[in-house]
Amino acid sequence: MQKRRLGRTDLFVSQICLGTMTWGQQNTEAEGHAQMDYAFERGVNFLDTAELYPIPPKAETQGRTETYIGNWMKARGNRDRVILASKVVGRTANEWFRGGRPSKLVRADILDAIDKSLARLQTDCIDLYQIHFPDRPIEWGANPSRVGNARAERVADETPIAETLGVFDELVKAGKIRHLGLSNESSWGVMRFIAEAERGVGPRVASIQNAYNLVNRTFEVNLTEVCDREEVSLLAYSPLAQGYLTGKYDHGARPEGARSTLFNRGQRYEKPYAAEALLAYNELARSFGMEPALFANAFVSHRWFVTSNIIGATSLPQLEMALDSTEVTWTEEMQTAVDDIHQRVGNPCP
């Protein structure tokens, strides 16, 4: 499996990153360990997790995913072979992260988050520590295809980016993290972080983790140029659009055990006209003789500006298919067919 440089760092991450957000909710610890064993046998060296996980977020499960990963690395004795990414939550009213109060991207909260994550992961240092979502109010994902008629209200106590970046500088100097990453961020946000770093405030952004898939290509507008010129790596999440690009929800189906059936959290992919777009891509995949999940992952894995495709699976066969996407020969014919549909349907699920 290809290894690609992460931003301007000395880290080279696998073309596929193993996402972990189902471990502790949909998947047991043993299943999570089996996924990591298999992925690393196939050449993956990159794990992505978060203090928030598993999904859906709940007080009683929060942090469980990191605990599973920490136990696996200790049992395998392989911490030195794992590029480990985790995340601190942005501004949230959920009080269970900080022991009974809301959380912001301020010093006390970031220090609390990193120390708890390090303990659960049973490690001294996280290779890539990411801001899960901004402190400022944003449209979720930070890249809407349109905005409303009223400007979003700004909170009076918004944490300045320079203040947050200064805390990350402390973490790097303390040896608790190696590099900084962003997530669910906009082109303005990326450039503000870079500008502050260039003024000497803190570490330079190495990566951005944003949604990118066939029904949400908004990253291509502005952010592709920003990240290419500034050497910020895209870690693309949700390549299967929360499973809607597997075909299992086509024609309104709700299979037993599927995420949207269990948790009713698929609203991002249930917007007006989304079903028609999803079906068009799933049928296109079949016309090329491919499973929709393989096709959708291959699209993401082979885009020139994607450093690593963060895949998620709840079973080993799903994981195998996701890893197989790197071996697909992505042709000009496939890209043209995808672009033809995109010209018609745009980005229905930003």
Contact 71, 49 (CB under 8 A): no
Q: CB atoms < 10 A from the CB of 132, how many?
A: 21
Pairing of strands 83-88, 46-48: parallel
Distance in angstroms (rounded) separating the CA atoms of residues 147 and 315: 38
Tokens representing residue 55 in the block:
């999904």
Distance in angstroms (rounded) separating the CA atoms of residues 17 and 242: 16
For the chain, first and last CA: distance in Å?
29
244 is catalytic: no
Per annotation, catalytic residue among 38, 53, 269, 281: 53
Distance in angstroms (rounded) separating the CA atoms of residues 312 and 65: 13
Contact 205, 197 (CB under 8 A): yes
* Residue 161: partners with Cβ closer than 8 Å, 6 or more residues away: 189, 192, 193, 196
Distance in angstroms (rounded) separating the CA atoms of residues 39 and 37: 6
Tokens representing residue 5 in the block:
């440089």
**Residues taking part in catalysis:** 53
